[in-house]
Structure 1
């Protein structure tokens, strides 16, 4: 392995990739909710500059999701769970929002970005645990509203390096889309979010001086290669499990994971 990766770090990244791939398939979250905190920890231990660590973790997470989402959505599509009409309406706004989010992240201090991550993920988890039922008449908005919703999902996803499931799944379930369809559709939305966000982070970090070796913009290439290779193999397994769990189990797993990750990033916000 080039770029001086130690074997211990390779093993850690492989394990991280396996876990994030499984969760991407299970919850439609792209894996970023797990990748960003743990990538932040690994880059911190490797001694990378504090000013770049969270942004590199976010950027590398988004790049990894480009590969993970393809594997995950293929498994969900084979079960007929993806709402492709919803994907078509949300994707344009998501692309615009993801590109914008990367530029906003460039201007934010790392501790502010970590604090934002913790706050928003905690909110999403609370909404899941409350399990408040939407009005039966509520439906997805028309095309202009879907573009606006997609833009918001894209900005938030790009800011925290996630595939968008932590926003798009609650949004769709709030609009009475069944949870299993929301998870599958969110998995499909992960690719345009990740691709647009990746391009944005490459551009944002392209002209910066003092970036560590092995980076492309803000993306840490060795981690991208190792995590992607592992995650694409476990994403289909997670997708199969998603269809075996009932609605309440799936929501509780989703919310519990979000709380745990928010806690770590809250800690990071005050220690960066």
Structure 2
């Protein structure tokens, strides 16, 4: 299968299970869906199995969105059980975020591969700078903005998340901390966005990738039953079990960490993600 030795396939399966564990842990700790971990790992997997560059990155993003569905549900439930989720923010963001995801999924059907990487680098870089070097005086305001501005922010979060294959945690964490919300509350509330983003996003990437599979009939990783559009069922099946299992563990860990430790840990993590995709853009 895939034209590579059975030993290599077994190694990849183990790597995907381990990646799932790390994805779930980080999803719970940082309130993200885990896409920032899953996308780089899937990118290497699809490179090994010789998925063409033209469709490799969107296949990673679509698969990541599918993986985020169960992970974000478990992470959100764990944070909500601790009473840390601001449901009023999620209610305002629900519709514009979903609209943004649908639009981002449509763009994915026609966008060049480098666009996905560029969005990853830009968002991860800004978020990392804010978390590692930001001060309490770096604020847009002392309270959340008016509803129209919130709606615009929600739409932006939806579009960019659909192009990055993330659950919106990086973006909403950044936004909420700029408006004086504690990092723990930002993390907890962000976990709810993963549900709003991942489900319509995954459906959109199935639609976006379906015709592309016909253009690459020799690429097994794009064909049913191993894929549905831009969603790799192989990646989904191997990553989901361990990611969903460890997401609540990460959520419990997040509430034991100090505010500064959580910010520094998340910032360092984003620097690594940013560096990985920047390197692939310039090579």
Task: Answer yes or no: same fold by TM over 0.5.
Answer: yes
1:110, 1:269 within 8 Å by CA — same for their partners in 2?
no
Distance 1:136 1:59, change over 3 A: closer
2:21, 2:243 within 8 Å by CA — same for their partners in 1?
yes
The alpha carbon displacement at 1:105 in A equals 2.5
Map of 1:256 onto structure 2: 268
From 252, 256, 260, give the equivalent of 1:244. Answer: 256
The alpha carbon displacement at 1:136 in A equals 9.1
The alpha carbon displacement at 1:207 in A equals 1.9
From 134, 147, 153, give the equivalent of 1:131. Answer: 134
2:128, 2:271 within 8 Å by CA — same for their partners in 1?
yes
- 1:205 paired to 2:209: yes
From 11, 14, 21, give the equivalent of 1:11. Answer: 14
Q: TM-score, normalised by structure 2?
A: 0.91
In structure 2, the residue corresponding to 1:48 is in which secondary structure? Answer: coil
CA distance in 2, matches of 1:251, 1:240: 16
Give a deviation string over 1:213-243, Cα, whole Å, max 9, x none.
3110100011111111110000000001100
Q: Superposed, which structure 2 residues align to 1:182-201 within 5 Å?
A: 182-201=186-205
- 1:267 paired to 2:279: yes
RMSD: 1.8
From 18, 35, 40, give the equivalent of 1:37. Answer: 40
**Aligned length, in residue pairs:** 270
Structure 2, unmatched stretches of 5+, are none
From 163, 169, 189, give the equivalent of 1:159. Answer: 163
2:17, 2:242 within 8 Å by CA — same for their partners in 1?
yes
In structure 2, the residue corresponding to 1:30 is in which secondary structure? Answer: coil
CA distance in 2, matches of 1:185, 1:137: 19
Give a deviation string over 1:69-103, Cα, whole Å, max 9, x none.
01111111111111111111112111011111112
2:141, 2:178 within 8 Å by CA — same for their partners in 1?
no
CA distance in 2, matches of 1:107, 1:258: 27
The alpha carbon displacement at 1:142 in A equals 2.4
Give a deviation string over 1:43-83, Cα, whole Å, max 9, x none.
11121121111110011001100110011111111111111
The alpha carbon displacement at 1:270 in A equals 3.1
CA distance in 1, matches of 2:91, 2:119: 28
Map of 1:175 onto structure 2: 179
Q: TM-score, normalised by structure 1?
A: 0.94
In structure 2, the residue corresponding to 1:169 is in which secondary structure? Answer: helix
Structure 1, unmatched stretches of 5+, are none
CA distance in 2, matches of 1:156, 1:96: 12
Map of 1:235 onto structure 2: 247
1:205, 1:218 within 8 Å by CA — same for their partners in 2?
yes
CA distance in 1, matches of 2:154, 2:135: 22
Map of 1:80 onto structure 2: 83
Map of 2:58 onto structure 1: 55
From 211, 216, 233, give the equivalent of 1:221. Answer: 233
- 1:20 paired to 2:13: no
Map of 2:114 onto structure 1: 111
CA distance in 2, matches of 1:216, 1:73: 26
Map of 1:101 onto structure 2: 104
CA distance in 1, matches of 2:199, 2:170: 17
